C-alpha cells in the first residue's frame, strides 16, 4: 500500500477518531479526526456533484481557516488537484494563475472577494465559486450549505500515490509565477521526513499562524501533525498578541514561524500576560535565526528550536538544523534531510533568467534556479561540477519529495531539474552557499542578490547579521544599488528606532565587517516587503 494524502487523514481518523484534530477559534469550530474526515468526505462529494473529476483543479483564495484544510483533503480524496493562491494577490495575478492552472472551482471569502471579482470576467475555465462567509454573492454558492447537503461516505474515486496532488505557484518576480507540480507520494514521504526530523508526537498541539496556502506551513507542519495524530489550532492570520494568547488558551506545544515573526513574538511577550510555558519546540525557516533573536526566544519561550531549509520545488524541506546544533552551528542551515543529498557546484554566474522558486530559508524566496540555456547552446550548470569543501557555489539538492515538473513550462523544468552522470536528478536552487568541515550547509545568498562593489563581492546576509546585532534594529535588508564609480554600492533598509550615524559608528567599531562591505546609505522604513514564508523580497527593494 502506498497511501495518498487523503489516505493519511482516513488512517489517522481510524486510529484516533475522538482525538481533537482541528480547532478554528475564529468561527468557534472544533473537529475530532473522525469529524474532520467526515467533513472532508462531504466536501469531496459536493465537489463531485459540481462536476469536479479526477485531475480537475480546485483553487482556494483563503486566509487560514477550517475551509482551506477541508478543501485540501477533499481534493486529495477525490483525486482533484489542490491549487492554493496567495490571499494577497491582486486581480491580475489571480486571473493569470487560475487560467494557467485551468481551475474549475474557486473557494474564497470576504477578505479576498475584491480581487476575485476583479478577475472574474476574464477567468476562462472557472465554473463554480464557493463562498465561505455570510452574504454570499449572487454568482457564488454557499460553501457550508453544499457541505451540509452532501453525503458523508468516502467519495467513489480511484486515487494513486503517483497522481498529482497539487499545483503550488511560486511567487514570480522577473517573470510569471510557475505552478510546481507535486504528487501524493512526494507529500506522504515529506510528512515522514518532517516527523522523523522534528520529533512531533500525537500528544502535541501545533499552532498554524503563518499562511496555509504556503508549503512551509501546510507541508511541514499541518500535514505531519495530521499524519501522527496531533492537534492543529488554526489562526486566521499572524498577529503576535493573538499567537501568544492562543499558546496559553490551547496549550500549544509546537509553533512554526519565520525568524522575523519569532522576533516579533519575543518583543511582544513582555507586554502580553500569557502563559507560554506549554511550548516545547519552535520550528523556523525562511532564514537563519540571528543569535540575538535566538537568545530572546529561548528566554521568552522554550529551549529547543528546529530549522528547515528548502523551497517549494523540493517539498519544501531539504536540510534540517536540530536543537542541539543551534548554538554550535549558529547561522548554518544544517545537514541534508533524511533520504536527501546535497551538493555545492560551480555557479554559472549568469543569475537567473526566469527565476521564481520559493525558498524557505536563507534566501530571497521569489527568485529561482531556472535560468534558460544561452543562445550559444550552453547546456547550463553541471550537477557533477562540485567545488571544494568551504568554497561558495550553487546549492543543488536531490530527494524523494522533488516536484514532478513546472506546469506547462517544459523549458523551465529542464533547466531546473538536471541529471548527473549516474542518473540522479538534482534540483538547482539558485542559492549560493558552502559546506563547512563537518558538512553543515551555510546559505550565503541568492545568485542575484550578491553585490559587486569595486570588484569585490559582498554577500548581503553577512552585512545584515551585523546590523541585526544592534539592539535597536528590528529588521534589516541589504541590497546593491547602481553606482557610477563602484558599479554597485551597498545600501541597507532598516526597521528600528535608530539613525544612520549611530549604525555607521556601530559598524565601524565592529570587527565583524570589512569596511568595503559597510552600507553607504541607510533607508529607514516601517516594514520590509516579505513573501508568505516571511522572507524579505529584495527584488522589491531594488525596484525590479
User: What is the residue-wise DSSP string for 24-81?
Assistant: EGGGTEEEEHHHHHHHHHHHHHHHHHTT--TT-EEEEE--SSHHHHHHHHHHHHHTPE
3-state helix/strand/coil string of 195-252: HHHHCCCCCCEEEECCCCCCHHHHHHHHHHHHHHCCEEEECCCCCHHHHHHHHHHHCC
User: Which residue has better confidence, 293 or 22?
Assistant: 22
At 173, is the secondary structure helix, strand, or coil? Answer: coil
Report pLDDT for 208: 98
Report pLDDT for 355: 39
Q: How far is 306 from 533, CA to CA, in rounded Å?
A: 16
Residue 172 has pLDDT above 90, yes or no: no
User: Which residue has better confidence, 445 or 253?
Assistant: 253
Interstrand relation of 304-310 and 317-321 (parallel, antiparallel or unpaired): antiparallel
Residue 539 has pLDDT above 90, yes or no: no
pLDDT interval class at 374 (50, 70, 90): very low
Report pLDDT for 367: 33
User: Which residue has better confidence, 525 or 532?
Assistant: 525
- Residue 235's nearest CA partner among 252, 219, 220 is 252
Report pLDDT for 500: 95
Residue extents of the structural domains in the chain: 23-159, 454-541
Low-confidence winner among 16-25, 92-101, 332-341, 351-360 (lowest mean pLDDT): 351-360
Residue 454 has pLDDT above 80, yes or no: no
| Highest mean pLDDT pick, 117-131, 165-179, 497-511 | 117-131
Q: Whole-number mean pLDDT of the chain?
A: 91
Low-confidence winner among 84-88, 311-315, 381-385, 450-454 (lowest mean pLDDT): 450-454
Q: Encode pLDDT of 381-407 as tens digits.
A: 799 999 999 999 999 999 999 999 999
Residue 240 has pLDDT above 90, yes or no: yes
Report pLDDT for 371: 36
Report pLDDT for 453: 86
Largest alpha-carbon pair distance within the chain?
70
Residue 369 has pLDDT above 80, yes or no: no
Assign domain 23-159 one CATH number from 3.10.180.10, 3.40.50.360, 3.40.50.980, 1.10.150.120. Answer: 3.40.50.980
Report pLDDT for 357: 52
Q: Encode pLDDT of 141-152 as tens digits.
A: 999 999 999 999
Average of pLDDT values for 265-288? 94
Contact (Cβ atoms closer than 8 angstroms) between residue 126 and residue 105: yes
Residue 365 has pLDDT above 60, yes or no: no
| Highest mean pLDDT pick, 154-163, 173-182, 259-268 | 154-163
pLDDT interval class at 379 (50, 70, 90): low
- Residue 381's nearest CA partner among 395, 367, 391, 362 is 395
Low-confidence winner among 9-23, 212-226, 449-463 (lowest mean pLDDT): 449-463
Residue 535 has pLDDT above 90, yes or no: no
Q: Encode pLDDT of 101-127 as tens digits.
A: 999 999 999 999 999 999 999 999 999
484 burial (CB, 10 Å; 0-12 / 13-18 / 19+) is exposed
Q: Encode pLDDT of 328-338 as tens digits.
A: 999 999 999 99
CA dihedral 498, 500, 502, 504 (to 10 degrees): 140
At 22, is the secondary structure helix, strand, or coil? Answer: strand
Low-confidence winner among 233-237, 311-315, 327-331, 455-459 (lowest mean pLDDT): 455-459
Q: Encode pLDDT of 29-59 as tens digits.
A: 999 999 999 999 999 999 999 999 999 999 9
Low-confidence winner among 42-46, 282-286, 354-358 (lowest mean pLDDT): 354-358
pLDDT interval class at 511 (50, 70, 90): confident
pLDDT interval class at 532 (50, 70, 90): low
Report pLDDT for 168: 97
Average of pLDDT values for 19-29? 98
Question: Over the range 73-109, which residues count as b (16 or more CB within 10 Å of their CB) and which as e?
Answer: bbbbbbbbbbbbbbbbbebebbbbbbebbbbbbbbbb
- Residue 406's nearest CA partner among 72, 224, 167 is 167
Report pLDDT for 533: 54
Domain 454-541: assigned CATH number = 3.30.300.30
Report pLDDT for 176: 76
Residues 6 or more apart whose CB falls under 8 angstroms from that of 375 comprise none
Contact (Cβ atoms closer than 8 angstroms) between residue 365 and residue 531: yes
Q: Encode pLDDT of 407-419 as tens digits.
A: 999 999 999 999 9
Report the percentage of the chain scoring pLDDT > 90: 78
Report pLDDT for 100: 97
Amino acid at each position: 500500500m502506498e497511501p495518498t494524502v487523503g489516505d493519511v487523514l482516513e488512517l489517522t481518523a481510524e486510529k484516533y477518531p475522538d482525538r481533537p484534530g482541528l480547532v478554528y477559534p475564529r468561527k468557534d469550530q472544533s473537529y475530532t479526526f473522525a469529524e474532520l474526515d467526515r467533513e472532508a468526505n462531504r466536501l469531496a462529494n459536493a465537489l463531485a456533484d459540481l462536476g469536479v473529476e479526477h485531475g480537475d483543479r480546485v483553487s482556494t483564495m483563503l486566509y487560514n481557516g477550517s475551509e482551506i484544510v477541508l478543501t485540501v483533503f477533499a481534493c486529495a480524496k477525490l483525486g482533484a488537484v489542490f491549487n492554493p493562491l496567495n490571499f494577497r494577490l491582486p486581480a491580475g495575478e489571480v486571473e493569470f494563475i487560475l487560467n494557467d492552472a485551468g481551475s474549475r472551482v474557486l473557494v474564497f471569502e470576504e477578505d479576498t472577494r475584491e480581487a476575485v471579482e476583479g478577475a472574474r470576467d476574464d477567468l476562462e475555465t472557472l465554473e463554480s465559486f464557493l463562498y465561505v462567509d455570510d452574504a454570499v454573492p449572487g454568482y457564488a454558492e454557499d460553501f457550508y450549505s453544499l457541505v451540509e447537503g452532501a453525503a458523508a461516505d468516502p467519495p467513489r474515486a480511484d486515487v494513486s500515490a503517483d497522481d498529482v496532488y497539487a499545483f503550488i505557484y511560486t511567487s514570480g518576480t522577473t517573470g510569471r509565477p510557475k505552478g510546481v507540480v507535486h504528487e501524493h507520494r512526494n507529500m506522504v514521504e515529506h510528512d515522514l521526513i518532517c516527523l522523523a526530523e522534528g520529533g512531533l508526537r500525537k500528544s502535541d498541539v501545533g499552532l498554524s499562524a503563518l499562511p496555509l496556502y504556503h508549503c512551509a506551513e501546510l507541508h511541514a507542519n499541518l500535514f505531519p501533525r495530521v499524519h501522527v495524530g496531533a492537534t492543529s489550532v488554526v489562526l486566521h492570520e499572524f498577529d503576535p498578541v493573538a499567537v501568544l494568547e492562543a499558546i496559553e488558551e490551547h496549550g500549544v506545544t509546537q509553533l512554526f514561524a519565520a525568524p522575523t515573526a519569532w522576533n516579533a513574538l519575543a518583543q511582544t511577550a513582555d507586554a502580553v500576560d500569557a502563559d507560554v510555558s506549554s511550548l516545547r519546540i519552535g520550528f523556523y525557516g525562511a532564514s537563519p535565526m540571528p543569535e540575538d533573536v535566538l537568545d530572546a526566544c529561548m528566554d521568552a519561550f522554550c529551549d529547543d528550536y528546529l530549522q528547515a531549509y528548502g523551497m517549494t520545488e523540493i517539498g519544501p524541506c531539504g536540510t534540517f538544523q536540530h536543537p542541539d546544533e543551534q548554538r554550535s552551528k549558529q547561522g548554518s542551515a544544517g545537514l541534508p534531510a533524511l533520504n536527501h543529498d546535497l551538493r555545492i557546484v560551480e555557479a554559472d554566474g549568469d543569475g537567473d533568467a526566469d527565476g521564481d522558486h520559493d525558498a524557505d530559508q536563507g534566501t530571497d524566496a521569489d527568485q529561482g534556479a531556472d535560468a534558460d540555456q544561452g543562445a550559444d547552446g550552453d547546456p547550463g550548470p553541471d550537477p557533477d561540477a562540485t567545488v571544494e569543501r568551504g568554497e561558495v557555489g550553487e546549492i543543488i539538492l536531490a530527494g524523494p519529495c522533488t516536484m514532478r515538473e513546472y506546469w506547462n513550462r517544459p523549458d523551465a523544468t529542464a533547466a531546473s531539474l538536471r541529471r548527473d552522470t549516474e542518473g540522479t536528478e538534482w534540483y538547482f536552487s539558485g542559492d549560493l552557499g558552502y559546506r563547512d568541515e563537518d558538512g553543515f550547509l551555510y546559505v550565503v545568498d541568492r545568485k542575484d542578490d550578491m553585490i559587486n562593489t569595486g570588484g569585490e563581492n559582498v554577500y548581503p546576509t553577512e552585512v545584515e547579521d551585523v546590523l541585526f546585532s544592534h539592539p535597536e534594529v528590528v529588521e534589516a535588508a541589504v541590497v546593491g544599488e547602481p553606482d557610477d564609480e563602484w558599479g554597485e554600492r551597498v545600501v541597507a533598509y532598516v526597521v528600528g528606532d535608530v539613525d544612520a550615524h549611530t549604525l555607521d559608528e556601530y559598524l565601524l567599531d565592529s570587527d565583524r565587517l570589512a569596511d568595503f562591505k559597510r552600507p553607504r546609505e541607510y533607508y529607514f522604513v516601517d516594514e520590509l516587503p516579505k513573501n508568505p514564508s516571511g522572507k524579505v523580497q529584495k527584488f522589491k527593494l531594488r525596484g525590479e
